[in-house]
């Protein structure tokens, strides 16, 4: 059996790859693994379970809740909420486990199961591996030992979670947003209710698009993966900025008043300077990934801020932050972690903090984001290849060496298998956009021929 967990939980096509049986079995396995690790020792365990609005989340939620309750875990169902809200509530309510059902930015037919440990932190790799192994062991072998009578878990709805999460966001906001006009694109996703309410309570004038989820339209032509509607709406309404989330709202991308994209690297740069000014940027360091734009690295060097780079995936950014005590980190894709206030990327919090910086300084977002210049960066996704052979193909290694020689010191090449999708990502940076396109196209062709 191949590994079930990727960089962000277990994902697949709902009811095909990710079945009710799998969701139930993983939930039971997670309960047993955490019990064995001592997480439940001395008390009756509790789990927080939330989901995004995908239609498949309804039956998968039922499967997860059934699995946990059958293993003796009491369940608080918080309904449709962003991933960071489920993480926050897991910590705030003192729960032993959190479960989020979402495939984030993926298309509607996909779904996923993401587990959080006590405190709202993502599970460690070794625990995920143990959950997989235990699930497989019981799927093909002996039945689970199950409690009976009063030992079974009880299930209840926790409607207060929405207001509790919004109150948390407003409490940690550095200043109000009065005088700032914001367009919010909610991707017909999990933040469709909480994000507009949070911005409005913070004093912003808001225009909301993509906030009518029907279970089928999540991420469909909107949100952080499709900024066209947001660009147009910001210009049309004369807004100061636009904020876009993905389906589970752990990401935030933005556009300035002219409709130009402000990506995760630029958001990190703006927040890094704001937090340093406020004395909150611990160790004068921000954490990014190997996908961070070279322009971001150069900007941080110029501003005298250290940049630590990790493997791609917000979990690895978070691991570095926790290990070294850093306060700010994130990814170009819009996962931004402010560790003093969140245990995972929080798109609503990020958008609020970005708008708060505009409000506090009176500067435009374009001016603030101008602290860094993005070098041309081309990303090509190559599907239907054997991504496990990226590091072992001699043909591919030779092509990368040739490309790096051509680019010299003014660019770089990065090839990596996707952690959430069956494809290989080819990234090329260069001082000239045409050169970056040409090199990326050649490398993509080699990936197809060498790994196809």
Question: Which tokens sit at 323?
Answer: 């290990």
Residue 104 annotated in active site: yes
248 is in an annotated binding site: yes
Burial (CB < 10 A; 0-12, 13-18, 19+), residue 193, is middle
250 is in an annotated binding site: yes
Burial string for 391-403 (b: 16+ CB within 10 Å, else e) reads eebeebeebbeeb
Cβ proximity of 177 and 355 under 8 Å: yes
Alpha helices in 257-313 (DSSP H): 264-277, 294-303
Residues in Cβ contact with 224 at an 8 Å cutoff, skipping those fewer than 6 apart:
105, 185, 187, 244, 245, 246, 251, 252, 253, 333, 334, 347
Place of tokens 């697949």: 12
CA angle at residue 439 from 336 to 314, to 5 degrees?
15
Q: Determine the Cα–Cα distance for residues 61 and 146; give it in Å rounded to an integer.
A: 20
Alpha helices in 384-432 (DSSP H): 394-407
Question: Which tokens sit at 291?
Answer: 């996908």
Annotated catalytic residue: which of 27, 102, 104, 393?
Answer: 104
96 is in an annotated binding site: no
What are φ and ψ of residue 388, in 5° steps? -70, -15
Place of tokens 């752990």: 250
Alpha helices in 370-432 (DSSP H): 394-407
246 is in an annotated binding site: yes
Cβ proximity of 301 and 294 under 8 Å: no
User: DSSP for 30-82?
Assistant: HHHHHHHTTTTTTS--EEEEEE-S-THHHHHHHHHHHHHHHTT-EEEEEEE--
Burial (CB < 10 A; 0-12, 13-18, 19+), residue 21, is exposed
The residues annotated with a catalytic role in the active site are 104
Known binding-site residues for Mg(2+) equal 104, 246, 248, 250
Known binding-site residues equal 104, 246, 248, 250
């Amino acid at each position: 059996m191949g590994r079930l967990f990727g960089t962000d939980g277990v994902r697949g096509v709902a009811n095909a790859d990710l079945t009710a049986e799998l969701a139930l079995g993983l939930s039971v396995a997670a309960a047993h693994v955490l019990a064995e690790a001592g997480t439940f020792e001395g008390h009756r365990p509790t789990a927080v379970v939330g989901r995004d609005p995908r239609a498949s989340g309804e039956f998968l939620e039922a499967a997860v809740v059934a699995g946990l309750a059958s293993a003796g875990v009491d369940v608080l169902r918080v309904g449709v909420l962003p991933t960071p809200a489920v993480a926050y509530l897991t910590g705030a309510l003192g729960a032993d486990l959190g479960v989020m059902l979402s495939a984030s930015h993926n298309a509607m037919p996909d779904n996923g199961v993401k587990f959080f440990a006590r405190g709202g932190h993502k599970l460690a790799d070794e625990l995920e591996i143990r959950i997989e192994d235990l699930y497989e062991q019981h799927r093909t072998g002996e039945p689970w030992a199950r409690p009976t009578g009063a030992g079974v878990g009880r299930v209840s709805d926790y409607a207060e979670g929405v207001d509790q999460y919004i109150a948390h966001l407003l409490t940690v906001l550095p200043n109000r947003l009065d005088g700032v006009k914001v367009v919010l694109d909610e991707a017909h996703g999990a933040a469709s209710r909480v994000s507009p309410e949070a911005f409005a309570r913070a004093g912003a004038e808001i225009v909301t698009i993509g906030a009518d989820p029907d279970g089928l339209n999540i991420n469909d032509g909107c949100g952080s993966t499709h900024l066209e509607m947001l660009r147009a709406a910001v210009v049309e309404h004369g807004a100061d900025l636009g904020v876009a989330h993905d389906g589970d709202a752990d990401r935030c991308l933005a556009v300035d008043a002219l409709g130009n994209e402000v990506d995760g690297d630029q958001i990190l740069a703006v927040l890094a300077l704001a937090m340093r000014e406020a004395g909150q940027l611990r160790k004068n360091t921000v954490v990014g990934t190997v996908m961070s734009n070279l322009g971001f690295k150069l900007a941080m060097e110029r501003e005298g801020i250290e940049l630590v780079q990790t493997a791609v995936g917000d979990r690895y950014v978070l691991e570095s932050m926790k290990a070294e005590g850093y306060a700010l980190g994130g990814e170009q894709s819009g996962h931004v972690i402010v560790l003093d206030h969140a245990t995972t990327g929080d798109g609503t919090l990020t958008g609020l903090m970005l708008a708060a910086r505009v409000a506090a300084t009176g500067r435009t977002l374009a001016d603030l984001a101008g602290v860094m210049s993005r070098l041309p960066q081309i990303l090509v996704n190559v599907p239907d290849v054997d991504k496990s052979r990226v590091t072992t193909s001699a043909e591919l290694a030779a092509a990368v060496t040739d490309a790096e020689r051509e680019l010299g010191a003014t660019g770089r090449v990065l090839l990596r298998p996707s952690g959430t999708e069956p494809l290989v990502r080819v990234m090329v940076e260069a001082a000239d956009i045409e050169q970056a396109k040409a090199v990326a196209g050649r490398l993509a062709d080699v990936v197809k021929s060498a790994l196809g």
